[in-house]
Chain A
């Protein structure tokens, strides 16, 4: 009954370091998403993958890259972390676009 699993749950980086956030879903969903949530704001879409083999930019893609590794996994990479990328990152999945999205518990990322 895992749903959407994100790793790690917490991470502290120094400016300029790189890292990859991992996301996996076990619901056989076609679509997956990466969001960031900053204090006092709603979520903002970074990238999404409508189906295996496709990825598209969302509202705030700059500074990020994604890989849809297979139907289950969708990773988010920060190539050169900046303090402005300090945020809580959420991964979500849905059966298809426009269907209810299921969320992971988030990754809390701090960049010093």
Chain B
């Protein structure tokens, strides 16, 4: 059974720092991996989707990498801003279902 883990559960860093969020999964048979952002009381916003054949995807200050063989993905956020404060979730798409991690709650201190 696919399991997705995100460490750390919470992270607080000063504004301007570069940071890395981690996601690991137990079964490498995935179709894609997605990173989402969730703001309090709101729905989820898709940030990046990496197909299983890809190694990374970039969007603005965000870069996501995928190493299927080791079951790991990272989300790199450059030059963090207070507006980046949110919970970040990763999800792997396998067998028609998204399997989710519990998320990393990120706080960027001004």
Contacts and interface: CB of A to CB of B under 8 A. Distances in A.
Interface in A1-57: 4, 33, 40-45, 48, 50, 56
Interface of A: 4, 33, 40-45, 48, 50, 56, 58-59, 90, 92, 97-98, 100-106
Contacts of A103: 43-45
Given A45-B97, A59-B97, A100 B34 contact: yes
Given A103-B45, A104-B43, A42 B97 contact: no
**Prevailing SS type, chain A contact patch:** loop
Nearest 5 interchain pairs by C-beta: A42-B100, A103-B43, A103-B44, A100-B46, A105-B43
Given A42-B103, A100-B49, A90 B44 contact: yes
Contacts of A33: 98
**Prevailing SS type, chain B contact patch:** strand
- How big is chain B's contact interface, by range? 20 to 34
B25 to A, nearest CB: 12
B91 to A, nearest CB: 7
Interface string B9-35: 000000000000000000000011010
B42 interface: yes
A58 B96 CA distance: 9
B108 to A, nearest CB: 22
Contact of B32 (A42, A44, A98, A102): A98
A56 B45 CA distance: 24
28 contacts: A33-B98, A40-B102, A41-B102, A42-B4, A42-B89, A42-B99, A42-B103, A43-B89, A43-B91, A43-B98, A43-B100, A45-B97, A48-B97, A58-B97, A90-B43, A90-B44, A98-B32, A98-B96, A100-B46, A101-B46, A101-B98, A103-B43, A103-B44, A104-B43, A105-B41, A106-B41, A106-B42, A106-B43
